[in-house]
Amino acid sequence: MSFNTFGHLFRFTSFGESHGPAIGCVVDGCPPRIPLETVDIQRELDRRRPGQSRFTTQRQEPDAVKILSGVFTDEATGKQVTTGTPIMLQIENVDQRSKDYSEIKDKYRPGHAGYTYDIKYGITDYRGGGRASARETASRVAAGAIARKVVPGLIVRGALVQMGPHKIDRTRWDWNEVGNNPFFCPDAKQAKFFEGYLDGVRKSGSSIGAVIEVVAEGVPAGLGAPVYAKLDAEIASALMGINAVKGVEIGDGFATAEMGGEDNADEMRMGNDGKPLFLSNHAGGILGGISSGQPIIARFAVKPTSSILTPRKTVDRTGNDTEIVTKGRHDPCVGIRAVPIGEAMLACVLADHYLMHRGQVGEGTAWPFKKSGA
Ligand SMILES: Cc1cc2nc3c(=O)[nH]c(=O)nc-3n(C[C@H](O)[C@H](O)[C@H](O)COP(=O)(O)O)c2cc1C
Instruction: Tell me what pLDDT residue 104 has.
Output: 85
Distance, CA of 136 to CA of 133 (rounded, Å): 6
The number of beta carbons lying within 10 Å of the beta carbon of residue 285 is 27
Output the pLDDT for position 368. Answer: 79
- Provide the strand spans (E) within the chain: 5-6, 11-15, 22-28, 65-67, 71-73, 80-82, 87-92, 155-163, 166-167, 210-217, 245-250, 268-270, 276-278, 286-287, 290-291, 296-302, 312-315, 321-324
Please give the pLDDT value at position 274.
Answer: 87
Mutation probe of ligand 1 site: the residue of 96, 212, 331 with most atoms within 8 A of C-beta: 331
Which pLDDT score is estimated for 101?
Answer: 78
pLDDT of residue 1: 64
Q: Measured in angstroms, how far is the CA atom of residue 359 from the centroid of ligand 1?
A: 36
pLDDT at residue 304, as a whole number: 97
Are 199 and 182 in contact by the 8 Å Cβ rule? The answer is no
- Indicate the length of the chain as a whole number: 374
User: Do the Cβ atoms of 139 and 24 come closer than 8 Å?
Assistant: yes
Which of 312, 324, 335 lies closest to 134, judged by CA?
335
Q: Where are the alpha helices (DSSP H) in 204-295?
A: 231-240, 261-264
CA 100–ligand 1 middle distance (angstroms): 16
Ligand 1 neighbours, Cβ below 6 Å, are: 57, 112-113, 129, 132-134, 137, 242-244, 303, 305-307, 330-331, 334, 337-338, 341
Q: Take atom 9 of ligand 1 and give the residue whose Cα is closest.
A: 307
For residue 78, the CA-to-ligand 1 centroid distance in Å is 42
Distance from residue 109's CA to the centre of ligand 1 (Å) = 11
Distance CA(335)–CA(18), nearest Å, equals 18
pLDDT in tens, the chain (374 residues): 689 999 999 999 999 999 999 999 999 999 999 999 999 999 999 999 988 888 888 778 899 999 999 999 999 999 999 999 999 999 999 988 777 778 889 999 999 999 999 999 999 898 888 999 999 999 999 999 999 999 999 999 999 999 999 999 999 999 999 999 999 999 999 999 999 999 999 999 899 999 999 999 999 999 999 999 999 999 999 999 999 999 999 999 999 999 999 999 999 999 998 889 999 999 999 999 999 999 999 999 999 999 898 899 999 999 999 999 887 778 899 999 999 999 999 999 999 999 999 999 987 777 777 666 55
Alpha carbon nearest to ligand 1 atom 24, residue:
244
Ligand 1 pocket test, pick from 305, 324, 343 with the greatest ligand atom count within 8 Å of Cβ, gives 305
pLDDT of residue 372: 64
